[in-house]
C-alpha cells in the first residue's frame, strides 16, 4: 500500500507532509504544523515527530507502537495452555 505522505525535516524533527508537496508550497503536516516546503531540504538524522507517526500509522491501518509491542509481548497460543490463558486470563 502506498502512502500519500512523505517525511520532511522541520524544526529538528521529521514530519509527515503530503507526498505531492513541492518546493515553495505552503502545506500542513499530519500533526497540523503549517510550513513552507524547501525543495533542497533533505532528511538527516532527525527523530520522527510522534504525532505525525501516530497519525500516519492510523491512516494506513498499522498498529501503533504501543499496540505492536503489546502484540509481541502477548503469550502465543499453545495446545497445552488453557483456552483463556493466551488472552491473559487465569483459571
CA atoms of 26 and 80, how far apart (whole Å): 59
User: Would you say residue 82 has pLDDT above 70?
Assistant: no
Q: Which residues contact 63 (CB under 8 A, 6 or more apart)?
A: 57, 71
Q: How confident is the model at residue 3 (pLDDT cuts 50, 70, 90)?
A: confident
pLDDT tens-digit readout, 40-55:
999 899 999 999 999 9
What DSSP state is assigned to residue 73? H
pTM: 0.66
CB 33 within 8 A of CB 17: no
Amino acid at each position: 500500500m502506498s502512502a500519500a505522505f512523505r517525511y520532511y525535516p522541520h524544526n529538528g524533527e521529521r514530519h509527515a507532509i503530503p507526498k505531492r508537496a513541492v518546493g515553495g508550497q505552503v502545506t500542513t503536516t499530519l500533526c497540523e504544523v503549517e510550513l513552507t516546503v524547501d525543495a533542497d531540504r533533505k532528511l538527516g538524522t532527525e527523530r520522527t515527530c510522534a504525532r505525525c507517526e501516530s497519525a500516519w500509522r492510523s491512516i494506513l491501518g498499522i498498529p501503533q507502537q504501543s499496540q505492536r509491542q503489546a502484540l509481541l509481548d502477548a503469550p502465543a497460543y499453545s495446545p497445552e495452555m488453557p483456552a483463556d490463558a493466551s488472552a491473559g486470563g487465569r483459571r
